[in-house]
Amino acid sequence: MNTVPPASTGATPWGERLLPVLAAVGLAYVFWQPLWWGAGLVGGDLYSYYFPQKQFLADALRSGTFPLWNHLAGHGYPVLGESQTGACYPLHVLLYRWCDVQTAWNAVLVLHYAAAFLLMWCCARRSGLAVGGSLLAATVYVYGWFPVRSCLEWAILGGLYLPAAVWCVEGFLQTGRSRYLGGLGAALGLQLLGGHYQMAFYTWLLLGGYVPSRVFWVEWVETEPPAGNGKIGGEKIGGEKIGGEKIGGEKIGGEKIGGGKTEGSPGMPCAARSKQRGLRFGCLVAAMAGGVALGSVQLFPTAELQRLSQRGGSGPAHDPNYGAIPPAYLSQLIAPWYWYDPSRDLDAELNRLRWGALPSGTNRVEAHLYFGQVPFYLVVVGLMALAAYRRIDRWTFLWLMVVTLATVIAVGWLQAWLVSMPGFRYFRGVGRVGVLVTLGWALLAGRMLDLATTTWRPFGRFLGVAGVWGLTVIDLAWWPAPVNYAVMVENVPIRARDASPLREILRAEPQQPVRLYAPGANIANLLGVASTPVYLGLGPRAYFDPQYTLPAADEDDFHAYSAERVAWLKQAGVTHVLSFEPLERRGWPVEFVWSGWDPLLNPAWARFTEPLYLYRLRGAPGRVTWATGETEGIGKVKAAVDRVTVEVAAAQPGTLVLKDLDYPGWQVAVDGANVSGMSVGMFRGVNVPAGKHTVVWSYRPASVYWGAVGSALGAGWLGLAAWLWRAWLGARALESTARSG
């Protein structure tokens, strides 16, 4: 057989419409119940990476500013370039503008889990799965691969659009409706606007093989009758009906295709069929291109940063081979009780596995690939049975190939060749391609469940589907639970931000703007002040250049004193030091400011009883100096999101240096007149004449403006393409009516 399973036909009963909604909301509540009532996660990258970005976005939006430059992390970075903030994602703009950060983050997580379930359900139904198979497929996809990555926002936010893209491709090929073209472009565009490109890359990787295979190889045609009496489970197939609805005579999915013959209809001439396939393929490619254009406002700045980032090649700063699944660890699929034992140091054991594994290392979250015992054996036994009877059709074979190839990539066996390709060279965590394995396995499990229960009576079928689904939910909720880097807490630290005494003290310090040297990269940004060191997944290369980075301490001791470290801090514009222990005893040139327990930072660092210590750094010139290192004549400095203003009274001409990152898009004006700036190491500089002047640095990146134009053109292109396709269908329908008349 060369067909995909037939799609559901006729009107959808109200119960079938309600079931996926109830299941989506119910499972989101079961798996994430504490989040519904205000609890939150602590651990992983939440407080060192995501929350500082989200808090910065929320503060900027509430002040009426759309942020393009984050001036708090390190010496600054482009918000849209680094992309993980997701500043252009519509739901982020809405929720982080009006809700506190924890509430907004919880809402985004829960809504995306529920939406991913619904979209996967739609994908499964459009792929021909019955209600039971679709329910299982959606559960396996959403709760098999994503929950262990709960503290990694990119996973579920980007993974939401993977089944959406497949659903839109199938919907267009089966019905010819232009709304599916628009949906495909919108799904790909929103995935890019979310800023999590690795999931977008895997979506394109799948579509690159799936779309041509579906158009030219796996046709959606009238189902061929099986050998024998032409029935399966007492229902006719290929001759008249499936599920009581017509198929093969006029409609598929209850809708005409192309205004006339159905796709691949035997009554359509071969040349016309080939032409229609080519046209449909071209329309899908055009919609995908429109999706890329729609995400241009996020893509252009990232492309600019990528050229200037640490991801130019392999090395300690960026190793694309890190995060593969050791081949022996695939046994987690059949022996989760062995691997998911909470008493085991799983990360250490994974890095001791040598057979077939990459030497770059991995961890338990990156290497996770588990979708339940029942779905696993359901597919294995089902494929064996179909192979024995030679009943593996091309749709099943296509998804089996997706699963196989993605598994080979996930274990790293192709990395020696793939690492030279842009996408695989750009991203770490090759084991994350396991999301495609899970997607394919989910669809195959749903298909096998349908085939296994198709001959059962309705009540028996209901019990069988309910049993398989229930066991799978319990399995996915139980076994992988220890595979996580985050823990659920009721009293989340970030809600105590307004009660932070440290925040108030720093805001009242005489030397402004403050730049804090603090342990735990980025966490101090939650206080609303700049801090160093910085942690960025995609960061400017200067942050990883030994010429500009903080000199290492003995045994990586954060509080170790050395003259070189103190000199670097002063040269980098650091004004204050926050530590876990008294610094005067270790020879630091500091002035004590405050010691105590902070309700925001202490719980975030899991220091529940130990105090924190805040100091001024003696002799620190601050964020703005002359090139000579002096500060005489430098007056008020005001640092905003995309703008820095400095008042100076220069006794003689000199070069003013702002200890913020020099980056394309920054322009400088002296007394309102644009002048040419310069690079002073990794910082920004400008020549200032003698006298009183106002110097203003403004961030006006061309990449963002061109990206915004591209996004506008992309939205227009999607609308135009959908309208042209609709007009073409109408013209064909009129032509067909005229001929028949």
pLDDT in tens, 7-29: 555 556 777 889 999 999 999 99
Q: Which runs of E-coded beta strand occur in 289-384?
A: none
- Helix (H) / strand (E) element for 719: namely helix 702-740
Instruction: Provide the H-helix boundaries in 234-329.
Output: 270-294, 296-307
Q: What is the pTM of this model?
A: 0.90
Q: Tell me the Ramachandran region of residue 44: left when phi exceeds 0, alpha when psi lies from -120 to 50, beta otherwise.
A: left
Neighbours of 400 (CB within 10 A): 16
Task: Enter the tokens of residue 687.
Answer: 């020549």
pLDDT at res. 319:
87
DSSP state of 683: E
Q: What percent of the chain has pLDDT over 90?
A: 74
Q: What is the CA 231 to chain-centroid distance, rounded?
A: 45
Task: Enter the tokens of residue 248.
Answer: 């093969």
Identify the three-state secondary structure at position 306. helix
Give percent of the chain above pLDDT 70.
87
pLDDT at 459: 94
Query: Bridge-partner residues for 648, per DSSP?
Result: 634, 693
For the cut 60, the answer to whether the pLDDT of residue 624 exceeds it is: yes
When the pLDDT of each residue in the chain is averaged and rounded to a whole number, the result is 88
Q: What's the Cα-to-Cα distance from 501 to each of 76, 496, 527, 594, 644, rounded to whole Å?
A: 25, 10, 10, 10, 27
Rg (CA), the chain: 29
Structure confidence at residue 527 (pLDDT): 96
Looking at the DSSP assignment, which residues form a beta bridge with residue 251?
none
249 pLDDT above the threshold of 50? no
Residue 354: pLDDT band (50, 70, 90) is very high
Model confidence at 212: pLDDT above 80: yes
**586 against 352, higher pLDDT:** 352
Which residue type, as a one-letter code, is found at position 431?
G
Q: Is the pLDDT of residue 350 over 60?
A: yes
pLDDT tier at 100, thresholds 50, 70, 90 = very high
For every residue of 364-383, which 3-state class applies, written as one string? CCCCCCCCCHHHHHHHHHHH
Residue 671 has pLDDT above 70, yes or no: yes
Confidence tier at 546 by pLDDT (50, 70, 90): confident
Output the pLDDT for position 722: 66
Q: Report phi then psi at 212, rounded to 5.
A: -65, -35
**Strand bridging mode 624-626 / 590-596:** unpaired
What average pLDDT score do residues 583-600 get? 92
Contacts of 178 (CB under 8 A, 6+ apart): 721, 722, 723, 725, 726, 729
End-to-end CA, the chain = 37
545 confidence band (pLDDT: 50, 70, 90): confident
SS3 702: helix
Q: How confident is the model at residue 725 (pLDDT cuts 50, 70, 90)?
A: low
Alpha-carbon dihedral of residues 687, 693, 697, 700, nearest 10 degrees? Answer: -100
Angle of helix 101-126 versus helix 14-36 axis, rounded to 10 = 150
Q: With cut-offs at 50, 70 and 90, classify the pLDDT of residue 177.
A: confident
Distance of CA 520 to the CA centre of its chain: 23
Residue-level pLDDT at 731: 61
Sign of CA dihedral 261, 266, 271, 273: positive
Coil, helix or strand at residue 656:
strand
What's the pLDDT band for 232 if we cut at 50, 70, 90?
very low
pLDDT at 14: 77
Place 537 in a pLDDT band, splitting at 50, 70 and 90: confident
Rounded CA-CA distance 177/726 in Å is: 7
Cis preceding linkage at 533, omega within 30: yes
Please determine, for residue 245, whether its predicted confidence score (pLDDT) is greater than 70. no
Q: Which two tokens stand for residue 434?
A: 């396991």
The rounded distance, in Å, linking the Cα atoms of 175 and 172 is 5
Give residue 740's pLDDT: 61
pLDDT attached to residue 729: 64
What DSSP string describes 425-450?
Answer: HH-S-GGGGHHHHHHHHHHHHHHHHH
Position 739 scores a pLDDT of 57
Residue 211 has pLDDT above 80, yes or no: yes
Q: What are the pLDDT digits (tens) for 480-535? A: 999 998 999 999 999 999 999 999 999 999 999 999 999 888 999 999 999 999 99
Q: In this structure, what DSSP letter does residue 49 have?
A: I
**What pLDDT is attached to residue 584?**
79
With a CB cutoff of 8 Å and minimum separation 6, the contacts of 248 are 222, 223, 238, 239, 240
DSSP code string of 212-257:
HHHHHTSB--PPPPPSSSSEETTEE-SSSEETTEE-SSS-BTTB-S
> Which strands form 634-639's sheet, in the order they lie side by side?
634-639, 643-650, 691-699, 666-670, 673-675
At 317 the pLDDT is: 61
Containing H/E element for 349? Answer: helix 346-352
In this structure, the strands spanning 576-579 and 515-517 are: parallel
Question: Could you tell me the two tokens for 518?
Answer: 């603090």
Q: Which amino acid is at 614?
A: L
> Residue 11: what pLDDT?
57
Mean pLDDT within 533-559 = 82
Residue 108 has pLDDT above 80, yes or no: yes
Whole-angstrom distance, CA of residue 179 vs CA of residue 367: 37
Q: Sheet containing 576-579: which strands, arranged edge to edge?
A: 530-532, 515-517, 576-579, 612-617, 590-596
pLDDT over threshold 50, residue 241: no
Q: Output the pLDDT for position 355.
A: 94
Query: What DSSP designation does 332 have?
Result: G
Q: What is the mean pLDDT of residues 302-310?
A: 91
- Alpha-carbon gap, residue 712 to 698, rounded angstroms: 25
Strand partners for 255: 252
pLDDT at site 733: 64
Q: Rounded to an integer, what distance in angstroms lies between the CA atom of residue 617 and that of residue 608?
A: 26
Residue 257 has a pLDDT of 33
Calpha distance 257→252 (Å, rounded): 8
Least confident of 139-153, 254-268, 482-496: 254-268
